[in-house]
Structure 1
Amino acid sequence: MTRVKKPDANFFRQMLSGHSVMGLTAAFLMYVICVSGTLAVFYKEFWRWEQPTATVETMEVNGQRIEQALRNAIADLGADPDADLGEAPARIGMDMPTSDWPRMSISYGEHRRYVAADGSLLGDVERPWTSFLARLHFALNLPLELGVVIVGIFGVLLMALIVSGFLAHPGILRDAFSLRLARSRQLQQTDLHNRLSVWAAPFHLIIAITGAILGLAGAISLATALLTSPDAGDPVPADQGSGTQVATATAALPDFDTIWRSFSTRSPNDQVFYLTVYQPASSQQRVELNAIRPDRLFWSQSHHYAANGEYQGPGGGDAASIGGQMQASLYRLHFGHFGGMPVKIMFLLLGTALCVVTVTGVNIWLSKRRQRKLPTDTIDRLWQVSVWGTLLLLSLSAVLQLALGIPPIPVFWIGLLVLVATAWRWGTPTLWAWRLRQLGGLVTALVPLVHTLRYGQAAWQGGSLSINLVWLALAASLFILQTTTARSAAKQTQPAGS
């Protein structure tokens, strides 16, 4: 009878190591989502930070400014409404100035340009680093169809971790104010993890639930459409073509003065943030205004107007069902875009707490592995590189984008791969954490310096001021953490009685 060969111990060690690396990868992706999401709360301020001198910031809007910008855009596309010939674009959109985005811009064809106070068109809107940060958060810089779903799954995972964490620690509420910072490193990490988990649990649950719904809703809608409609796989309905040119330009532009006065009278407290003209300069043209209602949480209330300024009714917002209003509220709730700057600062602090909870959770797991005499050094090195390398490379990508125009995506991901490959075989966890925190603090402090060298006084005005203060706060946090960690290590190695 043939005897089955028993797998050797090396096989099981390799499988256990592979299992640990996969778990570490999941924790790293969760950490990246949390870090990028915490910074992305200020994405509109980052927009202004990337181009602080692109245009004069003003809240003033009138019908003449809108009409002149639209006329210039159509002329730039090659259609002249005064000549009553040519083709009109299917749609032209305009970002209206708001309190946190006091700039006007217009999108037409492949262009997106700023609009001056007199309606003339200025330079292109460019925000490559902010786009990188936003896509890192909601899609991990992957194709949207895949990345958004993956991030949504991590939202579900975060919900499960929060609930299971409470169920697994029945005394977590009783010990809500126990913080043993003078004890061993494992106790410090455990108390910090548990305390922040309790104190920030409502916020963390809101972020997890809204993130999961936002991430998975698109995938569910696409799957439903594919199952119910034979044409759902075509991203553009057959009767719309490419959506670039559809109507002949034979009509005068809409009466924006009448539209603007009508809206101001009808909704004096609402703030228009986007205006869309469908088929401008054609007989089918119409106008849609999307406005923020300060007393409601949903994303926007739309208002529809005919070309002559006649109001045709609302859409979305109050006109939607209760379920529709709840769904439309998820975005602002997820990113803290309500209540102004105080709420954004609160989201920054609570988001930082979620990052700390993620890091300390893995640190506790690594400490328990050491106690059980399991191989830990390689995994610990990779984790230290993941945590501190992420912060370093975010800052480095911003510096290189500002100074040299280098795209941030390859800087971040290739840089991370280089760090991981090096840490796989070389160094100690302590050395990696020490060096990356030092380098991260220095590079992060360079971001506002490079920004100032490029833009001068404008780097410390408006939205740029708040963003450069965030960079400085992050740099200071890394230096302070480095100092306190060094002191703690010195005390633990100091001989008794010395």
Structure 2
Amino acid sequence: MKIRSDIIKVYKDVHIWIGIASGLMLFIAFYAGAITMFEKPLERWATPPSTLSAAPPLERADALVEAVLAAHPQAAARYFVSVQPAADQPARVYWQERGKGRREFKEYGASFAADGSLQVEQTRKAPVAQLVDTLHQLVGLPFPDAVARPIMGAVALAYAVALVSGLIVLLPTIARDVFALRIGKNIKRLWLDVHNALGLFSLPFHVVIALTSVVFAFHDQFYDAQDAVVYPNGIQWGGHEDAPAGGRVLLAAELLRRVEVQLPGFEVYGFGFQRDQEGHVEASVSGLDVRRGTRARTYMQTHLDPYTGEVDPHDLPGRMEGWDEAVNAFFALHFGSFGGNPVRWLYLLMGLAGAVLFYSGNLLWVESRRRKRKGAETPVQKRSAWALACLTVGVSLGCVAGISATLAAAKWLPALVGDLKAWHTGIYYAVFVAAVAWAFARGASRGAVELLVASAVLTLLIPLSSLAGHWNIGGTWSHPGSWPVDATALLAVPVLLYLARHTRRRMRQGHNDSVWAQ
């Protein structure tokens, strides 16, 4: 396919400069996003063990609800009965109470003690998994959501333009270069082949992520436009039907039985209830059907009649109306919330490959502007190339090291501090800023080697912290069945050390007129 060289040059410039402007933020979004594919296992791994007694059988859940409402009447406004208690959600009944702040809510869980008395505990769900997800959503920016989200939307739009312009640049040589991976002394050529191959073969994935990210960033504006055009008089919600005369809310075990009959293949996680001032109860059921994608990352939810057990399935994927099904598809494609763990692992690998794509793009820009050696004197490299090389190393490896550091701290902080969220956020950004400063102080090449080694050490601390939990050292703990998180971190350590070794070799044996030279 032939395209005029001047047109190729325009699109190449667009691709390069958009990539430079947004590549580092996209690296953080993709690296953190890859980790969030297993947000729930990570949350279970990081949540301290509960002091509550084991959750009573589901058949006794209604007695527990009555005890909770008698002791805490405010819980009647909204409470949740869990069908599948787990390490991060060990109680059978949960509810929220308003805290001191306007938007501050505290969540509590309840169980029965051995003597039958009511036990209540404020939940201790670890915030570190949510921090990683927030880094992903806001491309690592430490700003309020209202400020960072529009920036993320602009980055996503630029990202989509970079995808199109990159494809146009590649079209004339696609037949020759698509399967090429020229390994040799020309490191720049190798990186270009890797960059092109990753970009082309993962193009559908990147298009989906770019478009859905735009929807997430500007969803308020989209919904406002929808309200003005589709629902000019507002959405007319039907009121609830009156409870049947003498009707009582069905027992949780009976609700579970009726839901399973109506929704075969739907794994029920729990039931949510809320009671109005007149005493009428409304309910919902949450769970997951892995055969369907969902707009929430890890669950689906729909309405349920608590008096009859009848499910209203219109909010469930596969049973929605056309517009709602289309919106749900956007969320499901972005989250990879379909097909179970095989799709999650695929998205994780694609996310890491995306991070490499942005990292390699910056490397190519730096190398393309290298002042080559002529004669005996080694030239001084451009300040812009040196600065971008340091930024690329500092931001990318600062993100890797910062996430590993704050994850490793998850086992130690609950016994030492009160505000876990603030400490996890502080640890991440302290390591991140230190890594960027280190890269500028040491230079791109030395900084990359040292920060890769540091990232490997911090990542190794994740399973070592769990190992400390086996002996309850310093208040740490270890949940049964949490080994996949530790095993994944352990597998990442030799990868980071290999990259450090390869970078050191390139520093010593590569072009001595490069910013990557020793």
C-alpha separation in 2, matches of 1:179 and 1:446: 35
Which residue in the other structure is 2:65 paired with?
70
Distance 1:325 1:455, change over 3 A: farther
- Give the letter aligned to residue 272 of structure 2: T
**Aligned residues between the structures:** 447
Which of 78, 88, 94 does residue 91 from structure 1 map onto? 78
- 1:108-165 CA distance string (max 9 Å, x none): 2233345669996555132121121111111345333333333233332222222211
Q: CA deviation at 1:348?
A: 1.6
- 1:348-375 CA distance string (max 9 Å, x none): 2111100000100011011112248643
Q: CA deviation at 1:465?
A: 1.4
C-alpha separation in 2, matches of 1:55 and 1:175: 60
- 1:159-189 CA distance string (max 9 Å, x none): 2222211111112354222112323221121
- 1:248-278 CA distance string (max 9 Å, x none): xx99765434322221221132122342101
- 1:297-321 CA distance string (max 9 Å, x none): 2346645344433526333124531
Classify the secondary structure of the residue corresponding to 1:289: strand
Alignment of 1:412 with 2:428, yes or no, is yes
Which residue in the other structure is 1:8 paired with?
none
Which residue in the other structure is 1:130 paired with?
129
- Give the letter aligned to residue 256 of structure 2: W
Distance 1:99 1:268, change over 3 A: farther
Q: TM-score, normalised by structure 2?
A: 0.75
Which residue in the other structure is 1:323 paired with?
323
C-alpha separation in 1, matches of 2:123 and 2:483: 22
Q: TM-score, normalised by structure 1?
A: 0.78
Distance 1:419 1:218, change over 3 A: same
Which residue in the other structure is 1:400 paired with?
409
Which residue in the other structure is 2:467 paired with?
452
Unaligned 5+ residue runs, structure 2? 1-15, 98-104, 235-245, 373-380, 513-518
Alignment of 1:478 with 2:496, yes or no, is yes
8 Å CA contact 1:402, 1:451 repeated in 2: yes
C-alpha separation in 2, matches of 1:301 and 1:153: 30
Classify the secondary structure of the residue corresponding to 1:277: strand
- Give the letter aligned to residue 175 of structure 1: D
C-alpha separation in 2, matches of 1:95 and 1:113: 13
Alignment of 1:296 with 2:292, yes or no, is yes
- Give the letter aligned to residue 410 of structure 1: G
Classify the secondary structure of the residue corresponding to 1:315: helix
RMSD (Å), alpha carbons: 3.8
- 1:383-427 CA distance string (max 9 Å, x none): 211121221111122233432356121222243334434544x33
Q: Greater shift after overlay, 281-290 or 268-277?
A: 281-290
C-alpha separation in 2, matches of 1:449 and 1:160: 43
1:54-453 map, 5 Å = 54=50, 62-65=58-61, 67-77=62-72, 79=73, 89-94=76-81, 96-97=83-84, 106-109=94-97, 110-114=105-109, 121=120, 124-139=123-138, 140=140, 141-170=142-171, 171-221=173-223, 254-279=250-275, 283-299=279-295, 302-311=301-310, 313-317=312-316, 318-371=318-371, 374-375=382-383, 376-404=385-413, 405=417, 407-421=423-437, 423-424=439-440, 426-453=441-468
% same residue = 19
Distance 1:211 1:133, change over 3 A: same
Q: Greater shift after overlay, 340-349 or 361-370?
A: 340-349
Unaligned 5+ residue runs, structure 1? 1-19, 80-86, 233-249
Distance 1:409 1:204, change over 3 A: same
Q: CA deviation at 1:204?
A: 2.1
C-alpha separation in 2, matches of 1:72 and 1:276: 17
C-alpha separation in 1, matches of 2:125 and 2:176: 51
C-alpha separation in 2, matches of 1:60 and 1:157: 53
